[in-house]
Amino acid sequence: MIKLHKSLNGKQLTSITLLTFIGGLGLFAPFIMPNDPFLVDVSKKFLEPSWAYPLGTDHLGRCILSRILLGIRYSLGSALFIQLVATFFAIWIGAIVAFKRGIIDYFFIRICDILLAFPTLVLVFGLLGILGPSLKNLLLALIFTQTVYYSRVLRGLFISVHAKEFIKAAKISGTSGVKLILRHFVPNIKAPMLTIISLDLGKVILEIAGFSFIGLGVQAPTPEWGMMISEGKQYIRLHPELMLYPGIAIIIVVLLFNFISRQSKQVDH
C-alpha cells in the first residue's frame, strides 16, 4: 500500500479518496438515506428541496437524494464488478495464450480480430438482442466485450515480460504455473493494467447509464442514474432538476476516474 502511494501524485490521491468516499456512501446507503427510495407517494410529487427531502422529490414523490445514494451501488458498483471480473478472466486467458503460443495463440488472435471487427457498442447491442434487455444481461455483455479487449492487451504485455531475464531465472528456480503468473508476471504489468482499467471504468459507467437510459439495461423502479434520467425526461419542461441531479452524479464519478487515468498517463510520458 505504501508503495502504491508513492507512485501516485496529489491529484490522483485526492480523486481516489473522493471515490472511496462515494463508494462508502453507496455501500452504507441504507443507513444514510433520509427516506425510502422506493416509496411512491403521489401527493408529495415535485416537492422543492427541504430538510426532509434535501434534493426534493420526483414525479412519483420519491426522495431524489435517497435514490441517487442507492444508485451509487448500481452505477459505480456494477462498473467495478464488470472491470474486476473482466480483468480476472483476461489475466488467465492472456497468460495461457502467452505461455502456450503455437496453435492456441493463432486461433486466439484470429477470434479476437473477428470480435474486434465489431464496434464495442454494436457488439453489446447484438448480445442484448439475443439475451434480452436486463441488468444481468447488460453486465454479461459488457464483461464479454471488455474481456476480449483486455485479454488481447494482456497477451501482448505478458509476451513482452516473458522475454525478460528474471522470468527465466524464476523458471530455472522451479517456479511455475499460478505462482509464476501471480508473483512475477502480474506485478510487472500492474502499472499499464491499472491505467487501462481506471480509464475504462469511467467509460463503462457511461455505457451502463446509456443502455439503461434507452431501456436496455436496468429496469424501471431501480434507481440507476441513467434510468433516473430516462424517467425524468418527460418532465424536462417544468422540472429539469429531475435530470440534472443524476446527470451531475454521473459526471462527478466519471470525471474522478478520468483524472486518475490521465494523471498516470502524464507520468508515463
Partner 1 sequence: MKTWEVMKEMYESTWLFCLKRVITLPFVLLGVSIMTFLFIRFVPVEPAEVILRMSGVAPTAEAIQALRSELGTDQPLSIQYFIWLKGVLHFDFGSSFVSKLPVAQEIVEKLPATFELALAAFVCMICFSIPLGIISALYKNSIFDRIVGLLSIISVSIPTFWLGFFLLYLFSLKLGIFPTNGKGTILHMILPAVSLALPTTGLFVQAIRTSVIEELQKKYVQYAFLRGLKKSVILSRHVFKNAAIPLTTMLGMTLGNLLGGAVIVEQVFSWPGLGRYLIESIMNRDYPVVQCYVLIIAIIYVFANLCTDILHRVLDPQLMIVRRRE
For partner 1, the closer of residues 158 and 257 by Cβ is: 257
DSSP labels, 184-216: IIGGGGHHHHHHHHHHHHHHHHHHHHHHHHTTS
Q: How far is the CB of 168 from partner 1 (least distance, A)?
A: 22
CA angle 7, 8, 9 (to 5 degrees): 125
84: its cell numbers: 474486476
The nearest distance, CB 178 to partner 1, in angstroms, is 31
Which residues here bind partner 1, judged by CB under 8 A?
A: 110-111, 113-115, 117-123, 125-133, 202, 206, 209-210, 213-216, 226, 229, 233, 236-237, 240, 243, 247, 250-251, 254-255, 258-259, 262, 269
Decide if 57 contacts 66 (C-beta within 8 A). Answer: no
Report whether 206 contacts 191 (CB < 8 A).
no
To partner 1, the closest distance from the beta carbon of 3 in angstroms equals 27
Judged by CB, which is closer to partner 1: 90, or 141?
141
Q: How far is the CB of 151 from partner 1 (least distance, A)?
A: 17
Residues in a beta bridge with 57: 63
Round to whole Å and give the CA distance between 141 and 131: 9
- In the three-class reduction of DSSP (H, G, I as helix; E, B as strand; rest coil), residue 221 is classed as coil
Q: How far apart are CA 152 and CA 172, in angstroms?
A: 27
Q: How far is the CB of 198 from partner 1 (least distance, A)?
A: 13
Question: CB of 118: closest distance to partner 1 in angstroms?
Answer: 5
CB 128 within 8 A of CB 211: yes
Angle at 158 between CA 156 and CA 159, to 5 degrees: 65
The strand pairing partners of 63, in sequence order, are 57
Residue 207 Cβ vs partner 1, minimum distance, rounded to whole Å: 9
- Residue 99 or 125: the one with the smaller Cβ distance to partner 1 is 125
Pick between residue 11 and residue 45 the one whose CB is nearest to partner 1.
11
Q: Which is nearer to partner 1, 66 or 261 (CB)?
A: 261
Cβ proximity to partner 1, 117 vs 172, nearer residue:
117
**Least Å distance between CB 223 and partner 1?**
16
**CB-based contact 86:146 (threshold 8 Å):** yes
Which CB atom, from 185 or from 259, has the smaller least distance to partner 1? 259
| Angstrom distance (rounded) from CA 91 to CA 169 | 22
Q: What's the one-letter identity of residue 127?
A: L
Q: Which is nearer to partner 1, 53 or 257 (CB)?
A: 257
Q: Which residue has 431501456 as its cell numbers?
A: 215
Q: Which residues fall within 8 angstroms of residue 75, CB to CB, at 6 or more apart?
A: 205, 208, 209, 224, 225, 226, 249, 250, 253
